[in-house]
Amino acid sequence: MKFLVIAAFLAAATASAIKDEHTVLIGKDMLVNVDIKTKEVLCMKLLNFILQPTVYEDIRDVARDWDLEVNMDKYLKIDVVKKFIDFYKMGFLPRGEVFVHTNEKQMDEAILVFRLMYFAKDFDTFIRTACFLRERINGGMFVYAFTTAVFHREDCRGIILPAPYEIYPYFFVDGHIINKAFMLKMTKAATDPVIFDYYGIKVTDKNLVVIDWRKGLRHTLSEHDRLNYFTEDIDVNTFFYYLHMNYPYWMSDDVYGLNKERRGEVTMYGYQQLLARYRLERLSHGMCDIKMIMWDKPLKTGYWPKIRLHTGEEMPVRRNYVSLINKDNLKYKLYVDDVERYIREGIMNGRVTRRDGTVITLKKAEDFENLARMLLGGLGIMNDDAKVIHVVHLFRKLVSYGNYNFDKYTYIPTALDMYSTCLRDPLFWRIMKRITENAVLFKKYLPKYTKDELDFPGVRVERLFTDKLVTFMDDYDIDITNALYLDNSEMMKKKSDYTYVARMHRLNNHPFKVTIEVMSEKAVDAVVRVFYGPKYDCMGRLLNFNDKRMDMVEIDSFIYKLDTGKNTIVRNSVEMHDVITDRPWTRRILDNTIENTGSVDRVVNSYWYKTRMGIPHRMLLPLGRYDGLPLQFFVIVTPVRTGLLLPTVDINIMKDRHTCRWSSCFDTMPLGFPFDRDIDTTHFVTNNMKWMDVFVYRKDLATSNTVKDIDTSDMVMKRDDMTYLDSDMLVRRSYRDVMMMSSDKMLRL
């Protein structure tokens, strides 16, 4: 039986692992006192080329020799091991199939896999178990269970996993890009100037293949496709995927130590914040608010996912004006109606009674946690084997296309079925709208905040101002090499001969600072919350406090020690709470032969020590407009409150957890305070808060201040069919274009 060990001394192990992808991290001795970087390299090796058996001999050796039945004493719960073995002998999801997040049968199996890794007594046993599973179970299921285990094991704290779009690019990159990568791999990147120019393909002298995502025909079905730069953004979808990984709906047992966290509230607030951010993108285009989904009306908005799975199947296309209810999903419609009625009546009555007779109250502020878990799954479960009602999953089933085939391994997922793709579909935003309206209804029954709850005696916000807020579209390269298969020679070398990247066009914004000037009569700790939201609606009408409170985006919250007198607080946008930079290319660590392109060089080392889940800095602001999108910034400074409104929450546990979000890390006031409840406008404005009007400008080459320094006499406006956002690109006229223009003039004469 082989064991895991560091190849050299711990101080040198990480450096050697990073410099040489052939470094063997698995030997014959126990893996103890492992540093964080070595753990990360081990995890990267387990997740690399997930569609194939691992290329690393040390992982294969451990996978071959590890015996679960012999090593049951190395797990905290023996029954977990026994149950996994019993189910594994019956047959798991076959390797090669697509693992679907909403498939109950597949999720039950994934939970068994997670528990096997989670209850390993130490990191050594955990890695052995992961190696054992890596070679035996479905790749997608392994990624899901392994990622969740790393997120929740204490000995894995601080490990940064490869970005999900690098592990399995199929869910994040359009199918035609994957197809071009396969074409190039089959031809060994043989140069075809015409094809390369049309598709925007470049091959460097260091075997880096760049495929321009913007090239080719763009499929659109509705006006919502104008927002695909946001809904299909890789980091926005990664945020939602990691939100689930941090707070899985099925992880509800006391043994996981999550009962004293505000996991239900945090997840619901994540939904609400995404909706608020989405509405501001719509406002940038003059589009009005989204409406809740209605079952009895045809769905006007279709969606073309453009996603091809590794099995060769395409994610189904939903056409425009499709009927949602049919004979195959009527049973889910009845079930959804019953569950919604049960929950909304419970909100209005202030209590719900479960089948076992226990009563759950829904009256006080702290009861919001119960409601959130009831809507998003995982409420009041005695053990994590119990089934939970997940309203969002019920909605997904109702509007899915293969509802007659849900529990089969041959099920082809829609975009709605995966946490990594559901935000791409405009229908999911309407589902989120309907879910969050239940939370809004609950808050309506809570009393409005009093002046004492809003005010901070002795503290006055004198001034609030920001730098100029400017957004722009830039390019970014995504490593999609793991979407392709290695041949025998490449497996021997443990790497692909070429590195394939997709060059995408994405939203970005210039760094900016928010400056807050505060006068305090005494030295005291304070919580500072910074929001921004709309000033006018889509019709140009001025919004009052209550009109826009659900559209306020919280971009920063932090504790600040106020000194007596004047305090000048400066917050840089790249240092705001829960804001992350670009995720690094993990292939740079496993293979240092990659050419350093511009996007790769923008890796910030500090990312490795920050939270796994966060809002990317480049997405802090909405697209804006050329002439400026009018918004309002808002700041409120309040005392640090622990246990005031949510006395059941253990703030010390929240501080200790690496997954806490927004102000839940240091304050027990409800998330979204003071906009989470209806506002009494007669006493809402206090000295400790401040509003400020701002504009968000979209930078364009044609209107940029630097355009005067560029000779544009021989340039023409490039019209790209991919997206209207590229209409601002000026390109040099080619000799062929000039000759064609001359020929046209001669013909007209």
More confident residue, 735 or 189: 189
Helix (H) or strand (E) run with residue 348 in it: helix 330-349
pLDDT tens digits along 415-427 = 999 999 999 999 9
CA dist., res. 410 & res. 96, Å (int): 11
Burial 583-607 (b: 16+ CB within 10 A, else e): bbbbbbbbbeebeebebbeeeeeeb
Mean pLDDT lowest among 239-248, 380-389, 600-609: 600-609
CA dist., res. 181 & res. 3, Å (int): 38
CA dist., res. 58 & res. 196, Å (int): 40
What secondary structure, in 3-state letters, does 259-310 show?
A: CCCCHHHHHHHHHHHHHHHHHHHHHHCCCCCCCCCCCCCCECCCECCCCECC
Task: Tell whether the model's pLDDT for residue 643 goes beyond 70.
Answer: no
Match 């719509």 to its residue by tokens: 282
Match 């695909």 to its residue by tokens: 228
In terms of average pLDDT, the best of 328-332, 351-355, 440-444 is 440-444
Q: What ranges in 445-576 are assigned the alpha helix state H? A: 451-454, 488-493, 545-548
CA dist., res. 573 & res. 530, Å (int): 11
What is the predicted pLDDT for the residue at 377? 79
Measured N-to-C along each axis, helices 368-376 and 391-399 cross at an angle, to the nearest 10 degrees, of 30
Average pLDDT of the residues in 671-690: 93
Strand partners of residue 459? 520
Q: Which amino acid is residue 630, in one-letter code?
A: P
Burial of 383 (0-12, 13-18, 19+ CB in 10 A): exposed
Domains of the chain: 10-161 (1.20.1370.10), 223-444 (1.10.1280.10), 451-468+510-578+613-698 (2.60.40.1520), 707-748 (no CATH)
CA dist., res. 443 & res. 437, Å (int): 10
More confident residue, 69 or 742: 69
CA dist., res. 208 & res. 381, Å (int): 50
Cβ(289)–Cβ(279) below 8 Å: yes
pLDDT tens digits along 707-718 = 334 344 444 444
User: DSSP class of residue 712?
Assistant: -
Helix (H) or strand (E) run with residue 593 in it: none
Mean pLDDT lowest among 144-158, 461-475, 630-644: 630-644
Full DSSP string of 86-143: HHHHH--SPTTSPP-TT-HHHHHHHHHHHHHHHTBSSHHHHHHHHHHHHTTS-HHHHH
CA dist., res. 635 & res. 526, Å (int): 12
Q: Cα dihedral sign for 398, 401, 405, 411?
A: negative
- How sure is the predictor about 262, in pLDDT bands with cuts at 50, 70 and 90? confident
Cβ(615)–Cβ(580) below 8 Å: yes
In terms of average pLDDT, the best of 356-360, 400-404, 533-537, 702-706 is 533-537
CA dist., res. 132 & res. 122, Å (int): 16
pLDDT tens digits along 60-72 = 999 999 999 999 9
What is the predicted pLDDT for the residue at 199? 79
Q: Which amino acid is residue 202, in one-letter code?
A: K
- How sure is the predictor about 683, in pLDDT bands with cuts at 50, 70 and 90? confident
pLDDT tens digits along 492-509 = 988 898 999 999 889 999
Backbone angles phi, psi at 470, to 5 degrees: -130, 130
Average pLDDT of the residues in 220-245: 90
- How sure is the predictor about 320, in pLDDT bands with cuts at 50, 70 and 90? confident
What is the predicted pLDDT for the residue at 601? 35
- How sure is the predictor about 31, in pLDDT bands with cuts at 50, 70 and 90? low
Q: What percent of the chain has pLDDT over 90?
A: 51
The encoded tokens of residue 5 equal: 């060990």
Write down the mean pLDDT value for the chain: 81
CA dist., res. 62 & res. 67, Å (int): 10
What is the predicted pLDDT for the residue at 592? 53
User: DSSP class of residue 318?
Assistant: B
Task: Tell whether the model's pLDDT for residue 586 goes beyond 80.
Answer: yes
Long-range contacts of 726-734 (CB under 8 A, 24+ apart): 726/214, 726/473, 726/505, 728/700, 728/701, 728/702, 729/701, 730/701, 730/702
CA dist., res. 292 & res. 280, Å (int): 17
Q: Which of 264, 182, 153 is nearest to 487 (CA)?
A: 182
CA dist., res. 626 & res. 728, Å (int): 11
What is the predicted pLDDT for the residue at 64? 92
Q: Count CB neighbours of 364 within 10 A.
A: 14
Task: Tell whether the model's pLDDT for residue 665 goes beyond 90.
Answer: no
Strand partners of residue 110? none
Residues 6+ apart with CB under 8 A from 156: 39, 123, 126, 149, 150
Q: Which of 519, 523, 544, 520 is nearest to 534 (CA)?
A: 544
Strand partners of residue 464? 516
Strand order of the β-sheet with 513-520 is 459-466, 513-520, 565-572
Half-sphere exposure (Cβ direction) of 564: Cα atoms closer than 13 Å: 2
What is the predicted pLDDT for the residue at 198? 78
Task: Tell whether the model's pLDDT for residue 738 goes beyond 80.
Answer: no
In terms of average pLDDT, the best of 40-44, 438-442, 581-585 is 438-442
Mean pLDDT lowest among 324-338, 432-446, 452-466: 324-338
Average pLDDT of the residues in 575-582: 86
- How sure is the predictor about 254, in pLDDT bands with cuts at 50, 70 and 90? low
CA dist., res. 746 & res. 749, Å (int): 5
What is the predicted pLDDT for the residue at 452? 92
Q: What is the distance, to the nearest Å, from the Cα of residue 21 to the centroid of all Cα atoms in its chain?
A: 29
Residues 6+ apart with CB under 8 A from 512: 466, 467, 468, 469, 573
The residue length of the chain stands at 749
CA dist., res. 495 & res. 133, Å (int): 22
Task: Tell whether the model's pLDDT for residue 734 goes beyond 50.
Answer: no
Q: Which amino acid is residue 426, in one-letter code?
A: P
Q: Which amino acid is residue 115, in one-letter code?
A: R
Q: Count CB neighbours of 563 within 10 A.
A: 12
Helix (H) or strand (E) run with residue 518 in it: strand 513-520
- How sure is the predictor about 2, in pLDDT bands with cuts at 50, 70 and 90? very low
Average pLDDT of the residues in 131-154: 95
What is the predicted pLDDT for the residue at 11? 33
What is the predicted pLDDT for the residue at 224? 85
Q: Quote the pTM value.
A: 0.86
What secondary structure, in 3-state letters, does 525-555 show?
A: EEEEEEEEEECECCCCCECCHHHHHHHCEEE
Task: Tell whether the model's pLDDT for residue 382 goes beyond 50.
Answer: no
User: DSSP class of residue 47?
Assistant: H
What is the predicted pLDDT for the residue at 651? 43
Match 């000779």 to its residue by tokens: 711
Q: Count CB neighbours of 661 within 10 A.
A: 28
What is the predicted pLDDT for the residue at 718? 45
More confident residue, 604 or 639: 639
What is each CA distance from 649 to 147, 379, 439, 442, 462, in whole angstroms? Answer: 27, 16, 19, 19, 33
Cis peptide before 584 (omega within 30 of 0): no
